[in-house]
Amino acid sequence: MTKKEELEAQGFKTYENEDIQVFWNPKLCQHIGACVRGNGKVFDVIRRPWVDLSQAPASEIADIIDRCPSKALQYELLNPISIVFEEALDRAAAYDRGKQIGECEYSPSEKMWIISHTGVEPAYEGKGIARKLVLKVIEAARAKGVKIRPLCSYAKKMMSGKEEFQDVM
Ligand code: SF4
């Protein structure tokens, strides 16, 4: 069963384009408005349909949906990109059918990894790949019990002040 089939069986409605599927369940929505405040062009409660995925890149929409407190909004990114943690190279890397198209590199010490660079080839920007790369490094750091210091501008912006990442900072 795909995520779409699973969520639709639970009462979620689906909005989709070639990069992302967005799912919304009105019964779970607490009407707190984090989605509308995130981007009022994508999420407009007056318009029908109220979700317009053409108004922002998939990665931005995914970032906003991550802030939905009730999980009434969920998403699935649709690209055939694999994200791999490569400990021997001190990085997570993104591949499109075997071709490397991005990386998140860090300098390791015993108790801390300093993220020094996150980059994605221009043709692949706006698809949420950079975020997934950083998340992959965070996941590995958590598993090893080390902290992260995000020095590169992307990781810094993504992690700073975010409750979900405080345990590794
Ligand atoms: S952020 Fe989630 S809970 Fe809040 S209004 Fe949007 S869909 Fe509803």
- Same domain? For 36 and 92 the reply is no
Name the closest-CA residue to atom 8, ligand 1.
29
Total tally of structural domains belonging to the chain:
2
Of the pLDDT bands very low, low, confident and very high (cuts 50, 70, 90), residue 109 is confident
Which tens digit of pLDDT belongs to each residue from 12-59? Answer: 999 999 889 999 999 999 998 999 999 999 999 999 999 999 888 787
Q: In this structure, are 14 and 57 located in the same domain?
A: yes
Same domain, 92 and 140: yes
- CA separation for the pair 156, 18 (Å, rounded): 29
Task: Indicate if 73 and 93 belong to the same structural domain.
Answer: no
Q: What is the pLDDT of residues 60-95, one digit of tens each?
A: 898 899 999 999 999 998 876 778 899 999 999 998
Single-letter amino acid code for the residue at 107: S
* CA–centroid distance, residue 133 to ligand 1 (Å): 26
What pLDDT digit, counting tens, does each position of 130-147 carry? 999 999 999 999 999 999
Q: Judge if 157 and 90 occupy the same domain.
A: yes
> Where is the domain boundary, 24, 52, 77?
77
What's the CA gap between 135 and 139, in Å, rounded?
6
Q: Which atom belonging to ligand 1 lies closest to the Cα atom of 31?
A: 5
Q: What is the dihedral of CA 71, 31, 57, 114, to 10 degrees?
A: -60
Range of the domain at 52: 3-77
**What's 147's domain CATH number?**
3.40.630.30
The model's pTM is 0.57
The reply to whether ligand 1 has any atom less than 6 angstroms from the CB of 151 is no
Residue among 35, 51, 63, 71 whose CB has most ligand 1 atoms within 8 A, to mutate: 35
> Is residue 63 within 8 Å of residue 112, measured between CB atoms?
no
Instruction: Kindly report the backbone phi and psi dihedral angles of residue 40, in degrees, each rounded to the nearest multiple of 5, phi listed first.
Output: -70, -10
